[in-house]
Amino acid sequence: MKHKMTFTLVSALFATTAMAHADDLTVASWGGSYQEAQSKALFEPAAKAMGIDVKQETYGGMSDVKLQVSTGQVTLDIVASGSGSAARAGAEGMLEELDYDVIDVSNFGPTLYSKYCVGGDVFSTTYAWNTDTYGENGPQSWADFWDVEKFPGKRAYRNKVAGALEPALMADGVAPEDVYKVLDSEEGIERALNKIRELRPNIDVFWSSGAQQAQLMKDGEVDMTTGWNGRFDNAKKDGAKVAYSYNQALLDYDCFAIPKGAPNKDLAMKFLAEISKPEYQDDLPKYITYGPTNNLAFETGVIDAATAAGLPSSPENAAKQLPISLEWYAKWETVASEMYQEMMTE
Amino acid sequence: MQATPANASGLRVDEKLERMKLFGLSSPALLLVLVILVIPVGWLFYVSFLGGNGQFSLENYQRMVERSSYMRIFRTTFEVSLVTTGLCILIGYPLAYFLSQIPPRIANLCMITVLLPFWTSLLVRTYAWLVLLQKQGLINEWAMALGLWDEPIKMVHNMTGTLIGMVHIMLPFLILPVYGSMKAVDRDYVKAAANLGASPRRAFWDVFFPLTMPGLFAGTLMVFILCLGFFVTPAVLGGGKVIMVSMKIVSNIELFVSWGAASALGVVLLALTFAILWVASRFLKLDQIAGGGH
Amino acid sequence: MRSQDSDALPISIRGVTKTYGAVHALDDVSLEVKSGEFITLLGPSGSGKTTLLMVIAGFTRPDCGSLKFGEREVIRTPPHLRDLGMTFQSYALFPHMSVAGNVAYPLKLRKLQKAEIAERVEKALETVQLGGYGDRRITQLSGGQKQRVALARSIVFEPRILLMDEPLSALDKKLRDQMQIELRHLHEKLGMTTVYVTHDQREALTMSDRIAVVNKGRIMQLASPRELYERPANRFVADFIGDSTFLPVERSGEQVSYGGMPLKFVQAPPDTPTLALMVRPERIVLSSEGPREGANNFAATAVEVVYQGDSYLLHARLDDGTLIALRGGVRGASLSALPNVGDKVTLTLAPEDTVLIDGSEA
């Protein structure tokens, strides 16, 4: 707690001093290979094209934004966020409404932008397996992931509720299109948790980060895990024996938002419009296997057919997947989190 | 009948001035304590009573009672801290004793080895244990190569790994004060006990051990309290199965996006820690031990 | 508590050697301590006296030698089985136990009944004049009281041998003088064989039956206080015990002379290659009537006169340049007859006080 606070205060301090001489934009994201990809494909070229200076930072998520907004000391102009937490932050009044007259989303998938957050990349929460253990033809559904007789071996699963309940229901035989209907009650959530309880003896690790998914697979610590497709591809590049499938995966997106009272709100809006253009978005897959949110990015010729076929947002892949429901997360995430925690601590 | 003593009032003024100066000199320290200790804790306390809408509310505490996971998390926290502290005593006390008995030159060298971990980051040490302990880690591979066991033993991503990592990190905090108090024990005491007829074992338990109690108590307390706030090590080595309060604090910040939910956990942890200290001081006459003076 | 000394044990030390590297802390030491005797190991620091005591107590393991308590060989017996009392220079009172707790500790180890322990503890405390102090904490005691508690603890289990390592060194002079007498009385009362270590020669002279003067790991002389003082075996002992000036003398046959002057003496000189005349300041006398018949006379010049209350000290230079000290009484008119600096004086030494000793250094 204290650590976290210090971190926030220190970063706020840095931001303040930075603001003193950089009059342009401050953008915060999650750091690591993810922010590197964003930086190379989106932030740097867009800043160059607009002739502005963009200062990049890493931040601790919407709790940092909340602190800034509640104390009136907003230093961040743009933050990268998970779609769910952005939806909740927006509902709590922590974000500026986005002006879609400025940002052109006419070629975005209809679920990839919202009132407060415009999609930046599309990714999948899916299952990956060790190809040494199961070969290339590993599990092809969540039911297979749960089937420890057909696929004996140790599993890793998420330590948070986000993206953790939907697979359990699909494994329990719920059709993808009915998943959020079933989850729309505490009983439904409990049903999903019970399914996870069933698998629990075979879950060796509850992972907490994308880096950890890659490490678990690379080190052979577990035979199967849930996780984000881009991380698995990067682990594979590093020599990990890992494969994954899009079948029944959860289609999700990261987005960009503007904190309420951002110092350069108007410029931030223009910057979001710029990086939403296909000519930037089509570069993203070069650095990480996350797909563009703007469909026109597939038509610029930068993304070749083979790459496109591997992206989560390619029409063929997207069709196999269940899109994450932001409405459900806005309504149920806190309750479901507490219930999930109870399952974890049993 | 007495004449006014010479300079009596002047000397009284001098004394008063001196006392004021002393107070003046210590005021920066008092201010510092106020600013870095009292105010943040007070703020924490205040914030913990704010609900999600920013109004006064008990919801942050209510949640802890209603959801069984909180109780279990507190129990895990205290269990892990207790066991870690116990293991630290079992390993650290004999080690400190050994160090206190060997020639000072060698002891100093060994002490550097004990303190070495202090110079590397906690994160690095924790991940080093992950590398050593995991299924295809160094220990399992060597042991299987040597034929000690055939199947990899699960030593990490569970309680075992957490305890190994925490004991390793906490050990110096126990050894240092214990070693200090051992060095302070006059060797004549043990000789005297032997001379009076005590076998080495009796002399140890009757005389040496009680005299090192202040150090042991200080070390135990320090380790235990530090353990209560551990985050990185259980998060990395516990495999998500060992959930301590600090981890719940972080996840509550992310989940509720409010300080209140997390602050309440901090307040309860603080209160429980004070309660334990209070009970301990009842039993062990803390002030006497902390004074330590012979 | 016992009052006859039949229970006391003699100590027999034979050929004990202890080396630390090239240094001989103890060099082939042999010493026979009689049953019930109060013997003092006296020597400068680093002489080996404490090492010898630690060998007896069992805390220092010698390289070789034999140590017997009575008939029992104990050189390989661990300290806790030697059953001897000991007081430490630091007192070594256990700070976490009360006064009574400390004194009771050896009795508890011997598994005595509670009632008997209480009785004997109180009795031991009374013996050292601390009756009723049992509940006090050690930290509440003065230095002298700590010393008494340490003593009570070391005698409460009625050991037949008592070792004391500089027990009075931390006390102020007045208390030390008083404790010396008390210890002596206690020894007479309890009668246990006592080995006492000190570097204070006056303390040794006051208390001991016999004194072993230790230097460089060896016993230089073992004798009664009086013999030691009157007839030191060599210059080291003479120098260490009391003040003395040594004058070079020549021997020719039976004749011993100083600066050409034949000396009158009573005790035959030792049969050593060289001799020295030992002059104690309180034995040489200032003669107001010039040279005295039947005594040895020395002409000298007064250099310094120091008034010291109970006596005066005269430093005078002999004709051969040796500085000699003389201590005189202050009774009657002797003070008014003191010489002035620069006066010629005559110093006389009676034949009984003319002590010739081995002249070699070491």
Residue B129 lies in a domain: yes
**Nearest CA among A269, A223, A209, A218 for reference residue A240:** A218
pLDDT value of residue A225: 97
pLDDT score for A5: 42
C167 touches chain B (CB under 8 A): no
Phi-psi sector, B243: left (phi>0), alpha (psi -120 to 50), beta: beta
Same domain, B24 and B124: no
Q: Which residues contact B136 (CB under 8 A, 6 or more apart)?
A: A219, A220, A221, B152
Pairing mode, if any, of strands C85-87 and C210-215? unpaired
Mark whether C227 and C249 lie in a shared domain: no
Same domain, B11 and B112: no
Tell me: do C266 and C231 sit in the same domain. no
- Rounded to the nearest 5°, which phi and psi values hold at B58? -100, 10
Q: Under CATH, to which class is A2-122+253-322 assigned?
A: alpha beta
CB contact under 8 A, C109 and B202: yes
Is the CB of A206 less than 8 angstroms away from the CB of B241?
Answer: yes
Q: In this predicted model, what pLDDT tens digit does every residue of C260-315 receive, in sequence order?
A: 888 999 888 888 888 999 999 999 998 878 888 889 999 999 999 998 888 899 99
- B chain contacts of residue A89, beta-carbon cutoff 8 Å: 257
In a domain? residue B203? yes
A1 interaction partners in chain B (CB closer than 8 Å): 246, 249-250, 253, 262-263, 265-266
Is B67 in the same domain as B42? no
> Are C131 and C185 in a shared domain?
yes
A345 touches chain B (CB under 8 A): yes
In this structure, the answer to whether residues B178 and B257 fall within a common structural domain is: yes
Per-residue confidence at A7, pLDDT binned at 50, 70, 90? Answer: very low
- Judged against a pLDDT cut of 70, whether residue A21 lies above it is answered with no
Total of domains in chain C = 2
Segment among A49-58, A264-273, B266-275, C331-340 with least mean pLDDT: C331-340
B136/A61 touch (CB, cutoff 8 Å), yes or no: no
What is the rounded distance in angstroms from the CA atom of residue B265 to the CA atom of residue B253?
A: 11
Asked if residue A1 has pLDDT above 80, the reply is no
Q: What CATH number should be reported for the domain holding residue C177?
A: 3.40.50.300
Report, as an integer, the average pLDDT of B185-209. 95
| C111-155: pLDDT as tens digits | 999 999 999 999 999 988 899 999 999 999 998 899 999 999 999
CATH fold label, A124-252+323-345: D-Maltodextrin-Binding Protein; domain 2 (3.40.190)
Do C227 and C316 share a domain, yes or no? no
| pLDDT 10s digits, C177-188 | 888 998 999 899
Instruction: Give C 86-115 residues with CB within 8 A of chain B.
Output: 86, 88-90, 92-96, 105-106, 109-110
Q: Is the pLDDT of residue B278 over 90?
A: no
CATH no. for residue C354?
Answer: 2.40.50.140
Share of chain A above pLDDT 90, in %: 64
Distance between CA atoms of A61 and A68, rounded to whole angstroms? 12
C-alpha distance across the termini of chain C, in Å: 44
Report yes or no on B52 lying in a domain.
no
**Domain-by-domain residue ranges, chain A?**
2-122+253-322, 124-252+323-345
**Does B195 contact C90 at a Cβ distance shorter than 8 Å?**
no
Residue with more model confidence, B107 or A1: B107
Residue A110: the pLDDT is 82
Rounded to whole angstroms, the Cα distance separating A324 from A332 reads 13
Residues C225, C258: one domain? no
B129 and B198 part of one domain: yes
pLDDT for res B285: 62
Question: What domain count does chain B have?
Answer: 2
B181 in the same domain as B232: yes
Contact list in B for residue C77 (CB cut-off 8 A) is none
Of C235, C266, C289, which one is at a domain's C-terminal end?
A: C235
Determine whether the interchain pair C79/B195 forms a contact, defined as Cβ–Cβ distance below 8 Å. Answer: yes
Predicted confidence (pLDDT) at residue B286 exceeds the cutoff of 70 = no
In a shared domain, residues B85 and B43: no
B196 interaction partners in chain C (CB closer than 8 Å): 80, 105-106, 109, 153-154, 157
Q: Please name the amino acid found at residue C82.
A: R
The answer to whether residue B47 neighbours chain C at the CB level (below 8 Å) is: no
Q: Is the pLDDT of residue B78 over 60?
A: yes
Q: Cβ distance A204 to B119 under 8 Å?
A: no
- Top mean-pLDDT range of A283-287, B81-85, B130-134: B81-85
Task: Return the pLDDT at A130.
Answer: 95
Q: Quick one: pLDDT at residue A123?
A: 94
**Best residue in C53, C88, C139, C165 to probe B by mutation, most B CBs within 10 Å?**
C88
Kindly state whether C157 is in contact with chain B, defined as any CB-CB distance less than 8 angstroms.
yes
How large is the ipTM?
Answer: 0.84
User: Scanning the structure block, which residue is given the tokens 């400068």?
Assistant: C44
- Average pLDDT of span A76-91: 90
Q: Rounded CA gap, A246 and A133, in Å?
A: 19
pLDDT single digits (tens) A287-316: 888 999 998 998 888 898 888 888 998 888
Tell me the residue range of the domain where C133 lies.
5-235
User: Sorting pLDDT into bands at 50, 70 and 90, what band is B291?
Assistant: very low
Please name the member of B192, B200, B293 whose beta carbon is closest to the beta carbon of C92: B192
> In this structure, what DSSP letter does residue B220 have?
H
Assess whether C194 and C270 both reside in one domain: no
pTM for the predicted model, two decimal places? 0.82
Q: Which domain holds residue B213?
A: 63-291
Mutate to test the interface with A, among B36, B69, B129, B249 (most CBs of A within 10 A): B69
C298 close to C348: Cβ distance less than 8 angstroms: yes
Residues B42 and B121 in one domain: no
- Asked whether the beta carbons of C312 and C306 are under 8 A apart, the reply is yes
Q: Is the pLDDT of residue C212 over 60?
A: yes
Nearest by Cα to C233 from C358, C94, C98: C358
First to last CA, chain A: 24
CATH number of the domain at B80, please: 1.10.3720.10
Shared fold status for A2-122+253-322 and A124-252+323-345:
yes
Residue B82 and residue B137 in one domain:
yes
**Does position B289 have pLDDT exceeding 70, yes or no?**
no
Q: Are B164 and B129 in contact (CB under 8 A)?
A: yes
3-state secondary structure chain A: CHHHHHHHHHHHHHHHHHHHHCCCEEEEECCHHHHHHHHHHHHHHHHHHHCCCEEEEECCCHHHHHHHHHHCCCCCCEEEEEHHHHHHHHHCCCECCCCCCCCCCCCECCCCECCCCEEEEEEEEEEEEEHHHHCCCCCCCHHHHHCCCCCCCCEEEECCCCCCHHHHHHHCCCCHHHHHHHCCCHHHHHHHHHHHHHHHHHEEEEECCHHHHHHHHHCCCCCEEEEEHHHHHHHHHCCCCEEEEEEEEEEEEEEEECECCCCCHHHHHHHHHHHCCHHHHCCHHHHCCCECCEHHHHHCCCCCHHHHHHCCCCHHHHHCCEECCHHHHHHHHHHHHHHHHHHHHC
User: Would you state the pLDDT for residue C362?
Assistant: 55
What average pLDDT does this structure show over B80-106? 94
More confident of the two residues B260 and A158: A158
Confidence of residue B204 (pLDDT cuts 50, 70, 90): very high
Residue whose tokens read 């006059």 = B186
Check CB contact under 8 Å for A342 and B240.
no
Helix axes of B159-184 and B122-133: crossing angle, nearest 10 degrees: 130
Long-range contacts of C262-266 (CB under 8 A, 24+ apart): C263/C296, C263/C354, C263/C356, C264/C294, C264/C295, C264/C296, C264/C351, C264/C354, C265/C351, C265/C354, C265/C355, C265/C356, C266/C351, C266/C352, C266/C354
Interface of B with C in 158-217 (CB under 8 A): 186, 188-189, 191-200, 202-203, 206-207, 210-211, 213
Mean pLDDT value across chain A: 89
b/e map of C271-298 (b: 16 or more CB within 10 Å)? eeeebbbbbbbebbbbeeeeeeeebbeb
